[in-house]
Amino acid sequence: MAVREILILPDKRLRLVSEPIKRVDAGIRKLVEDLFETMYAAPGIGLAAIQVGIAKRIFTADLSKKEEDRQPQVFINPEITWASEEKSVREEGCLSIPDYYEDIERSAAMKVKYLDLDGKTQETEAKDLFAACIQHEIDHLNGVLFIDYLSKLKRDRITKKFTKAAKTAKKVEA
Protein backbone atom coordinates (compact mmCIF):
# COMPACT_ATOMS: atom_id res chain seq x y z
CA MET A 1 0.00 0.00 0.00
CA ALA A 2 1.17 3.51 -0.68
CA VAL A 3 0.03 7.07 -0.21
CA ARG A 4 0.10 8.61 -3.67
CA GLU A 5 0.57 12.25 -4.56
CA ILE A 6 -2.72 14.11 -5.10
CA LEU A 7 -2.88 16.30 -8.21
CA ILE A 8 -3.61 19.94 -7.44
CA LEU A 9 -5.34 22.62 -9.53
CA PRO A 10 -4.40 23.68 -12.28
CA ASP A 11 -3.01 20.23 -13.19
CA LYS A 12 -4.51 19.54 -16.64
CA ARG A 13 -4.95 15.82 -15.89
CA LEU A 14 -7.84 16.81 -13.58
CA ARG A 15 -9.71 17.76 -16.79
CA LEU A 16 -9.37 14.31 -18.43
CA VAL A 17 -12.44 12.15 -18.98
CA SER A 18 -11.58 8.85 -17.29
CA GLU A 19 -11.91 5.51 -19.11
CA PRO A 20 -14.25 2.68 -18.05
CA ILE A 21 -12.59 -0.27 -16.32
CA LYS A 22 -12.82 -3.41 -18.46
CA ARG A 23 -11.80 -5.97 -15.84
CA VAL A 24 -11.52 -5.81 -12.06
CA ASP A 25 -8.09 -7.45 -11.78
CA ALA A 26 -5.15 -7.42 -9.36
CA GLY A 27 -3.95 -4.05 -10.73
CA ILE A 28 -7.31 -2.47 -9.92
CA ARG A 29 -7.32 -4.00 -6.43
CA LYS A 30 -3.84 -2.55 -5.81
CA LEU A 31 -5.04 0.86 -7.06
CA VAL A 32 -8.01 0.65 -4.67
CA GLU A 33 -5.67 -0.02 -1.72
CA ASP A 34 -3.63 3.05 -2.64
CA LEU A 35 -6.75 5.18 -3.10
CA PHE A 36 -7.94 4.26 0.40
CA GLU A 37 -4.56 4.87 1.95
CA THR A 38 -4.27 8.25 0.19
CA MET A 39 -7.85 9.23 1.04
CA TYR A 40 -7.51 8.34 4.75
CA ALA A 41 -4.13 10.09 5.01
CA ALA A 42 -5.43 13.32 3.42
CA PRO A 43 -8.01 13.00 5.06
CA GLY A 44 -11.01 13.11 2.72
CA ILE A 45 -14.42 11.43 2.41
CA GLY A 46 -13.91 10.50 -1.25
CA LEU A 47 -11.10 10.15 -3.78
CA ALA A 48 -11.29 9.62 -7.54
CA ALA A 49 -8.45 7.79 -9.32
CA ILE A 50 -7.76 10.79 -11.57
CA GLN A 51 -6.80 12.73 -8.42
CA VAL A 52 -3.73 10.48 -8.25
CA GLY A 53 -3.22 10.70 -12.03
CA ILE A 54 -5.00 7.47 -13.05
CA ALA A 55 -7.70 8.19 -15.65
CA LYS A 56 -9.94 5.22 -14.80
CA ARG A 57 -13.58 5.39 -13.75
CA ILE A 58 -13.24 4.44 -10.11
CA PHE A 59 -13.47 6.19 -6.76
CA THR A 60 -13.37 5.35 -3.08
CA ALA A 61 -15.54 6.86 -0.34
CA ASP A 62 -15.88 6.63 3.43
CA LEU A 63 -18.12 8.99 5.38
CA SER A 64 -17.45 7.49 8.82
CA LYS A 65 -16.30 9.98 11.41
CA LYS A 66 -14.11 7.69 13.53
CA GLU A 67 -11.29 5.43 12.45
CA GLU A 68 -12.83 2.55 14.45
CA ASP A 69 -16.09 2.70 12.45
CA ARG A 70 -14.58 2.82 8.97
CA GLN A 71 -16.95 2.03 6.08
CA PRO A 72 -14.74 1.80 2.99
CA GLN A 73 -16.71 1.80 -0.25
CA VAL A 74 -15.50 1.38 -3.84
CA PHE A 75 -17.42 2.46 -6.93
CA ILE A 76 -16.26 1.16 -10.33
CA ASN A 77 -17.77 2.52 -13.59
CA PRO A 78 -20.45 4.40 -11.58
CA GLU A 79 -23.56 5.68 -13.36
CA ILE A 80 -26.29 7.86 -11.89
CA THR A 81 -29.58 6.07 -12.60
CA TRP A 82 -31.83 8.58 -10.82
CA ALA A 83 -31.38 12.02 -9.30
CA SER A 84 -34.02 13.84 -7.25
CA GLU A 85 -35.60 17.06 -8.53
CA GLU A 86 -35.14 18.31 -5.00
CA LYS A 87 -31.82 20.08 -4.58
CA SER A 88 -29.76 20.76 -1.51
CA VAL A 89 -26.91 23.13 -0.85
CA ARG A 90 -23.87 22.18 1.19
CA GLU A 91 -20.32 23.32 1.63
CA GLU A 92 -17.86 21.33 -0.47
CA GLY A 93 -14.13 21.08 -0.58
CA CYS A 94 -11.80 19.11 -2.82
CA LEU A 95 -8.42 17.56 -2.06
CA SER A 96 -7.26 18.85 -5.45
CA ILE A 97 -8.19 22.43 -4.44
CA PRO A 98 -6.85 22.50 -0.85
CA ASP A 99 -8.30 24.84 1.78
CA TYR A 100 -11.02 26.24 -0.46
CA TYR A 101 -14.69 25.71 0.40
CA GLU A 102 -17.89 26.91 -1.23
CA ASP A 103 -21.62 26.13 -1.07
CA ILE A 104 -22.65 23.90 -3.99
CA GLU A 105 -26.19 22.96 -5.05
CA ARG A 106 -26.77 19.37 -6.15
CA SER A 107 -29.58 16.79 -6.21
CA ALA A 108 -30.52 16.02 -2.61
CA ALA A 109 -30.77 12.28 -3.34
CA MET A 110 -29.71 9.94 -6.12
CA LYS A 111 -29.24 6.35 -7.15
CA VAL A 112 -25.96 5.03 -8.49
CA LYS A 113 -25.23 1.79 -10.35
CA TYR A 114 -21.65 0.54 -10.23
CA LEU A 115 -19.39 -2.53 -10.10
CA ASP A 116 -17.97 -3.72 -6.80
CA LEU A 117 -14.49 -5.23 -6.30
CA ASP A 118 -15.85 -8.64 -7.38
CA GLY A 119 -16.99 -7.10 -10.66
CA LYS A 120 -20.62 -7.54 -9.58
CA THR A 121 -23.21 -4.89 -10.50
CA GLN A 122 -24.62 -3.05 -7.49
CA GLU A 123 -27.10 -0.21 -7.09
CA THR A 124 -27.44 2.00 -4.06
CA GLU A 125 -29.42 5.06 -3.06
CA ALA A 126 -27.73 8.00 -1.36
CA LYS A 127 -28.84 11.24 0.23
CA ASP A 128 -27.34 14.18 2.10
CA LEU A 129 -23.53 14.30 2.30
CA PHE A 130 -23.16 10.85 0.69
CA ALA A 131 -25.19 11.99 -2.35
CA ALA A 132 -23.07 15.14 -2.67
CA CYS A 133 -19.88 13.10 -2.35
CA ILE A 134 -20.89 10.61 -5.08
CA GLN A 135 -21.91 13.44 -7.44
CA HIS A 136 -18.61 15.24 -6.71
CA GLU A 137 -16.60 12.06 -7.45
CA ILE A 138 -18.49 11.20 -10.64
CA ASP A 139 -17.81 14.78 -11.77
CA HIS A 140 -14.08 14.07 -11.32
CA LEU A 141 -14.41 11.04 -13.65
CA ASN A 142 -15.76 13.46 -16.25
CA GLY A 143 -13.08 16.12 -15.71
CA VAL A 144 -15.46 18.38 -13.79
CA LEU A 145 -14.47 20.21 -10.58
CA PHE A 146 -16.83 21.82 -8.05
CA ILE A 147 -15.48 25.28 -8.92
CA ASP A 148 -17.12 24.81 -12.35
CA TYR A 149 -20.47 25.49 -10.61
CA LEU A 150 -19.31 28.88 -9.29
CA SER A 151 -19.45 32.24 -11.07
CA LYS A 152 -16.71 32.83 -13.65
CA LEU A 153 -15.35 35.57 -11.37
CA LYS A 154 -14.90 33.17 -8.43
CA ARG A 155 -13.59 30.34 -10.61
CA ASP A 156 -11.04 32.58 -12.34
CA ARG A 157 -9.92 34.03 -9.02
CA ILE A 158 -9.28 30.61 -7.43
CA THR A 159 -7.66 29.20 -10.60
CA LYS A 160 -5.29 32.19 -10.77
CA LYS A 161 -4.38 31.78 -7.11
CA PHE A 162 -3.47 28.10 -7.60
CA THR A 163 -1.65 28.79 -10.90
CA LYS A 164 0.50 31.39 -9.16
CA ALA A 165 1.21 29.05 -6.23
CA ALA A 166 2.25 26.27 -8.63
CA LYS A 167 4.66 28.63 -10.42
CA THR A 168 6.25 29.75 -7.15
CA ALA A 169 6.63 26.11 -6.03
CA LYS A 170 8.34 25.28 -9.33
CA LYS A 171 10.80 28.18 -8.87
CA VAL A 172 11.65 27.04 -5.34
CA GLU A 173 12.29 23.50 -6.66
CA ALA A 174 14.60 24.74 -9.41
Residues contributing to the site for Ni ion (CB under 5 A): 94
State yes or no: is 137 an active-site residue: yes
Distance from C-alpha of 8 to C-alpha of 161, rounded to nearest angstrom: 12
Nearer to ligand GNR, 48 or 147 (CB): 48
Q: Binding of ligand GNR at residue 62 (CB under 6 A)? A: no
Minimum separation from the CB atom of position 171 to ligand GNR (A): 27
Which amino acid is it at 136? H
Strand residue runs (E) in 84-173: 87-94, 97-107, 109-115, 121-127
Give the strand order in the sheet containing 121-127.
46-48, 58-61, 73-83, 109-115, 121-127
Question: What angle (nearest 5°) sits at the alpha carbon of residue 164, between those of residues 14 and 52?
Answer: 25
- Secondary structure of the chain: what % helix, strand, coil (to 5)? 40, 30, 30
Q: Which does 45 bind (CB under 5 to 8 A by kind): ligand GNR, Ni ion, none?
A: ligand GNR
Q: Binding of ligand GNR at residue 78 (CB under 6 A)? A: no
Number of residues that bind ligand GNR (CB under 6 A): 16
Q: Binding of ligand GNR at residue 10 (CB under 6 A)? A: no
Minimum separation from the CB atom of position 145 to ligand GNR (A): 9
Active-site annotation, residues? 137
The site for ligand GNR (CB under 6 A) is made up of 44-48, 51, 92-96, 132-133, 136-137, 140
